Amino acid sequence: MENDDPSRSPSMESWEDVSVNTPIDDGTPAGRSRKDRDLRAAIHVERGLHLGRANKEVTKFQLPSQPIVYEPRDMQRKAVERQFDISPKALFHVMFGDKSSIFQLLYNERRAQRIAQGPWIPVEGGHLRRDFQFQIDYVDVFRRARQANIVDYQAIEVMNDHICYVVTDFKTPWHLPHHKDFMLVSKIVITHVAKSKCKLAIYTKVDWSKAPTFSKGLVERQALDDSALDADDLVDVIADQVRKLGPHSRTKKAINIFGHVGQQTSVSLFSAIESGHPKRPQIKQRTLTNMLFEIIGSFGESAISSVMMWSFAALRTLWKISSAHSIILTLLVLSVLANTFFTSRDTSEWWSERNAANFMTRIGVGPNPLMGKSIFLKDLDDALTVAPPGLSGELGSKCYDQFRDIVNVTDMYSSYQTAGTLFSERATQSTARRLRRTRQHLGSYRHDLMIAIRVVNNVEQEMIRAEWENWLLDENQRCRQVQLMLQDDRTNRRAKGAETQQVLEIREWERSGRLEELRKWQEDYCGSCRLEEDRLLQERQQTTFS
């Protein structure tokens, strides 16, 4: 005892609660199976510690210096992973000890009834297995209350003391469609991390015995989600039990409370009094229709949320890049679009009306072209007294009176097909129709001629008046020029000297006679031009005031 072995490891302190007589990998149910020989290298056995006993070898353990990493194959999803401040063996007994009621507690919180936990029984391959029997209430397709007997089981695949434990949990998915065709498989892995510290990881998958054709993916996704929820609940219950053990608790304490593994042979019945926790939400029984509606609803919610997020992002981007120029350009673009829309709409309506009017005109439906546009001879007094050619001056002829009655009765603004309805003879009716049709054409033609003549007369009058004003203006300008010339000539003649007066006396006499005549003509003609110009100005002023 005084001479310690120099190879002694500090981690030996964590094994103070392990008996030196603990069997190691003997192949029994309490030991490690031969299947897991790949984990033996993690255990180091040293000899030479005598503990006061002479010539007697004892077994000594040394923990691995690195955390153990173990991931099972063919699992679809890692549901949960968490570390606890107890040894792997202690956690293993907390969960799977003969006295442990963790899984019974979970079944009870899920509204299971008559829960029976079977003992660990050895099976082929050196594994251990135990069954869970319980009853559950459910509703069938016809909405009738039913009760089903469910049997779940667990199997210990790896039990390498203080290093690694792997337990497979098989559950019946009674609440899902096609529950007879698959099982929910969970692998519970407990591995060593450090001194008095372990890691719990739960992996899940769906094991199909007969996969459906169309709804496999839908059911499988829902089953994995439910398995993840069960794993979370299991970790919560384990954490509560570990908290009751206290921090850094010894393995012996966990074994004393939760029992060994594989020593009990009787079935353990769960009592509801043992559960001091509130019940968890009951597992919802699902059908394919409900699952499909839930997927559609979640997809709709995600789509709406995506649209809202994109809208807010677009508004935020517009707010960041907005400026006065961009706002003006945006308003301009909107104005152009609005004008284009209204213009195209009005143009389309006009084009439709034009096509309709052309079509009606082609089939002969249109307004009466003779509305107030004809001038007839009956509107003049002389037209009624004019006798036809070859008739004598006697206007009291009965024959002409009959013809005049036909002429006067005829309404020139009505259709010629209705002419002669007041007369019974066909000849008279034919004459009335022919007379009305001919006179309507002539009246329309006369109206067009008179309008054209009046327009031509107005144009000609305006043209003559314009030429007269221009000519009057030119004449008055010439008169002013002649008047200036005559005034200049009289001034020059007064300025001449006495020497030239005798020599040019005869010529001045002749010239003075002509100038007098020119002055008289200028006074008469130019005076009349000035009068006409004054009269024209007065007419313009009167027109402006009126």
Query: Residue 379 carries which DSSP code?
Result: G
pLDDT at residue 502 is higher than 70: no
In the chain, the amino acid numbered 13 is E
- Integer Cα distance of 395 and 384 in angstroms: 10
Q: Identify the band that residue 222 occupies on the pLDDT scale cut at 50, 70 and 90.
A: confident
Instruction: Summarize the confidence of residues 486-501 as an average pLDDT.
Output: 63
Among candidate residues 162, 234, 235, 152, the one with its CA nearest the CA of residue 195: 162
Conformation bin of residue 246: beta by default, left when phi > 0, alpha when psi is -120 to 50: left
Contact (Cβ atoms closer than 8 angstroms) between residue 250 and residue 17: yes
Instruction: Summarize the confidence of residues 215-240 as an average pLDDT.
Output: 88
pLDDT at residue 434 is higher than 70: yes
- Integer Cα distance of 42 and 65 in angstroms: 9
Q: Residue 499: helix, strand or coil by DSSP?
A: helix
Looking at residue 272, its pLDDT comes to: 60
Q: Residue 171: helix, strand or coil by DSSP?
A: strand
Largest distance between two CA atoms of the chain? 193
- Integer Cα distance of 85 and 238 in angstroms: 12
- Residue 320 or residue 237, greater confidence: 237
Q: Which residues of 45-77 are buried (b: 16+ CB within 10 A; e: fewer)?
A: eeeebeeeeeeeeeebbbbbeeebebebeebee
Q: Identify the band that residue 156 occupies on the pLDDT scale cut at 50, 70 and 90.
A: very high
Instruction: Summarize the confidence of residues 307-334 as an average pLDDT.
Output: 85
Looking at residue 519, its pLDDT comes to: 82
- Integer Cα distance of 144 and 141 in angstroms: 7
Among candidate residues 241, 275, 259, the one with its CA nearest the CA of residue 106: 275
Instruction: Summarize the confidence of residues 1-11 as an average pLDDT.
Output: 40
In the chain, the amino acid numbered 138 is Y
Q: Which of 47-61, 486-500, 522-536 has the lowest mean pLDDT?
A: 47-61
Q: Any residues with CB less than 8 A from the CB of 339 and at least 6 apart, and which?
A: none
Question: DSSP states of 117-146 as a string?
Answer: EPPPEE-GGG-EEEEEEEEEEEE-TTS-EE
Instruction: Summarize the confidence of residues 402-420 as an average pLDDT.
Output: 66
- Residue 310 or residue 294, greater confidence: 310
Instruction: Summarize the confidence of residues 127-149 as an average pLDDT.
Output: 83
Question: For residue 440, which phi and psi values (nearest 5 degrees)?
Answer: -65, -45
Separation of CA 438 from chain center: 71
Q: Give the side-chain half-sphere CA count within 13 A for 262.
A: 16
Taking the CA atoms of residue 45, residue 49, residue 51 and residue 52 in that order, the dihedral angle to the nearest 10 degrees is: 140
Q: Identify the band that residue 188 occupies on the pLDDT scale cut at 50, 70 and 90.
A: very high
Looking at residue 44, its pLDDT comes to: 36
Looking at residue 426, its pLDDT comes to: 67
- Integer Cα distance of 216 and 204 in angstroms: 16
Helical axes 216-245 vs 102-109, angle rounded to 10°: 130
Q: Report the share of the chain in percent with pLDDT over 70.
A: 72
- Integer Cα distance of 179 and 111 in angstroms: 19
Looking at residue 52, its pLDDT comes to: 35
Taking the CA atoms of residue 511, residue 513, residue 518 and residue 519 in that order, the dihedral angle to the nearest 10 degrees is: 110
- Integer Cα distance of 115 and 272 in angstroms: 10
Looking at residue 343, its pLDDT comes to: 94
Kindly state the helix (H) or strand (E) to which residue 511 belongs, with its residue range. Answer: helix 505-545
Looking at residue 494, its pLDDT comes to: 62
pLDDT at residue 168 is higher than 90: yes
Q: Report the share of the chain in percent with pLDDT over 90.
A: 20
Q: Identify the band that residue 206 occupies on the pLDDT scale cut at 50, 70 and 90.
A: very high
Looking at residue 13, its pLDDT comes to: 37
pLDDT mean across residues, the chain: 76
In the structure encoding, which two tokens stand for residue 449, read together? 């001629």
Question: For residue 377, which phi and psi values (nearest 5 degrees)?
Answer: -70, -20
Cα distance from N-terminal residue to C-terminal residue, the chain: 145
Provide the β-strand partners of residue 132.
Answer: 117, 152
In the structure encoding, which two tokens stand for residue 432, read together? 């009335």
Instruction: Summarize the confidence of residues 156-167 as an average pLDDT.
Output: 90
Looking at residue 391, its pLDDT comes to: 47
In the structure encoding, which two tokens stand for residue 360, read together? 């009606």
Separation of CA 37 from chain center: 62
Instruction: Summarize the confidence of residues 365-389 as an average pLDDT.
Output: 55
Looking at residue 213, its pLDDT comes to: 77
Looking at residue 8, its pLDDT comes to: 39
- Integer Cα distance of 311 and 1 in angstroms: 79
The position carrying tokens 């004393």 is 256
In the structure encoding, which two tokens stand for residue 376, read together? 């007839």
Give 9-42 as a 3 state SS string.
CHHHHHHCCCCCCCCCCCCCCCCCCHHHHHHHHH
Most confident stretch, 27-41, 355-369, 493-507: 355-369
- Residue 377 or residue 211, greater confidence: 211
pLDDT in tens, 24-52: 444 444 444 434 434 333 333 333 333 33
- Integer Cα distance of 479 and 483 in angstroms: 6
pLDDT at residue 394 is higher than 70: no
Q: Identify the band that residue 198 occupies on the pLDDT scale cut at 50, 70 and 90.
A: very high
Has domain 69-286 been given CATH number 3.30.530.20?
yes
Among candidate residues 159, 74, 163, the one with its CA nearest the CA of residue 122: 159
Looking at residue 495, its pLDDT comes to: 61
Beta-strand pair 268-269/113-117 = antiparallel
Provide the β-strand partners of residue 164.
Answer: 160, 191
pLDDT in tens, 435-466: 888 888 888 888 888 889 889 889 989 998 89
